[in-house]
Amino acid sequence: MSETRHNWTKEEILAIYNKPMMELLYEAATVHRKNHDPNTVQVSTLLSIKTGGCPEDCGYCPQAARYHTDIEGNDLMTVSHVKAQALRAKASGSSRVCMGAAWRNVKDGPEFDQVLEMVRTINKLDMEVCCTLGMLTENQAKRLAEAGLYAYNHNLDTSEDYYKDVISTRAFEDRLETIDNVRKSNVTVCSGGIIGMGERLEDRAGMLVALASLNPQPESVPINALVAVEGTPMAEMEPVSIWDMIRMVATTRIVIPETQVRLSAGRTEMSREGQAMCFFAGANSIFAGDKLLTTPNPDVNEDMELFQLLGLQPQKPFTKISQPATVEAEDSKLHPLGEKPRWSRPGHTIERNELAKENSKLQQ
C-alpha cells in the first residue's frame, strides 16, 4: 500500500498534474496497482428520490428552484418504487444504490423517516446504500448509520477559494461540518468535486488539498465533468477535455491512493478509449444507469460491453478497498473469452423474479 499523506501542498499537486502525460499515467497506474485490483471497478446506480425545488443557488445545478430549466420535479418516491429500482440496478451489476434528494439540509419528520426505511430496505438486498441529502446533523448521521447506510456523499465541489463563485447559499465550512458529522458515525464518506466550472488549475489542486487533508480521507472521490444545462448560470461553459479528466483522475489517484476514484458526470461525452485511459489512470468506480439524478449517463448495457472489452469486473458489495493485483483474491481473474460475465449468470434469477413482482405491484 502507498503511504497516506495529509499534508499535500497546492504546489506539489500542480507539479503532479502538469507532468508529461506518459509519465503521469505511469505513476498513477503504478500507485493504483499497489492499492487496488486494476481489473475491478465498483458500479453504483444513482437514483433521484426527490427531484427539483432546491432552495440553493449552486451555479451548475438544474434542480435549483430559482433557475428556469426543463427539469421535472417530483415528490419523494415511495419505498416500494425505490426497492424496485434497486433490484433492477442489482440485476444489472450494481453493488451500490445512491439516493439523492434535492434538499438543502435534512429535516427530521415523516420524509426523513421514509428515507430511513428506504435505507433499511435496500440494505436487506445485500447492496451498499449511499445517500446525498444535503447538510446533516450528527444525530441524523447516527440515525442513517443505524438504518444501515454504507456511505454518505457530500461533495466539496471545488476549492475553498473558488467556492463562493459557484454557490452563495452555503459556506465551504458547512460542507466540512457535514463530512465531520458523518465521520462521527460508522458511515463511509464520498466526497469529490466538479471540473469545468471556470476554475483555475490552482483550484483543482486546492480541492485535492482539502480532500487529502481530511483524516481519514474519503473512501470515495467522485470526479465530475460539468454537464452544462440550459437555464443555469454555467450553461455556456465550454466542455472539459478528456485530457483534463485523465489528468484529474490520475492526480487524484496519486494524492489519495487508497480511495475509490469515481468517474462520474460527463461520461456521455467521453469515448470508450477516453474512459479506458481514465480506468488505467486509477478510476475504479462509475455510476451506471441512463441518468445521474437529472443529467444523461451511458446506458448500463454500454458500460457492461465496455467492461467486457477491457476485461473489467464489477466489484462485490461491501468491499472497502479492492485487493491489489499481486494478491490472489477470489474473482480477481478475467473472464475467459466468450464466457458470460458474472452479472448475466443464473445467480441473478432470484433478484429478477423479485424485480418482476415489484414491477407488477407498481403497475396495479
Annotated active-site positions, please?
Answer: 54, 58, 61, 98, 130, 190, 262
Instruction: Report how far residue 346's alpha carbon sits from residue 74's, in angstroms, rounded to the nearest whole number.
Output: 36
To 10 degrees, the CA torsion angle through 293, 294, 300, 301? Answer: 170
For cell 443555469, the residue is 232
Distance of alpha carbon 184 from the chain centroid: 21
The dihedral region occupied by 45, where left means phi > 0, alpha psi between -120 and 50, and beta the remainder, is: beta
CB 169 within 8 A of CB 57: yes
Instruction: Report how far residue 131's alpha carbon sits from residue 100's, in angstroms, rounded to the nearest whole number.
Output: 6
Instruction: Report how far residue 160's alpha carbon sits from residue 250's, in angstroms, rounded to the nearest whole number.
Output: 22
- Point out which residues pair with 4 in neighbouring strands: none
Residue type for position 216: P
Backbone angles phi, psi at 295, to 5 degrees: -105, 155
In the 8-state DSSP scheme, what is residue 343?
Answer: G
For cell 492499492, the residue is 35
Instruction: Report how far residue 178's alpha carbon sits from residue 157's, in angstroms, rounded to the nearest whole number.
Output: 14
For cell 443505524, the residue is 146
Count H helices, E strands: the chain? 12, 12
Count Cβ neighbours within 10 Å for each residue of 327-352 and write b for 16 or more, e otherwise: eeeeebeeeeeeeeeebeeeebeebe
In the 8-state DSSP scheme, what is residue 105?
Answer: B
Helix axes 242-255, 201-213, angle to 10 degrees: 30
How many other β-carbons are positioned within 10 Å of the β-carbon of residue 357? 11
CB 328 within 8 A of CB 313: no
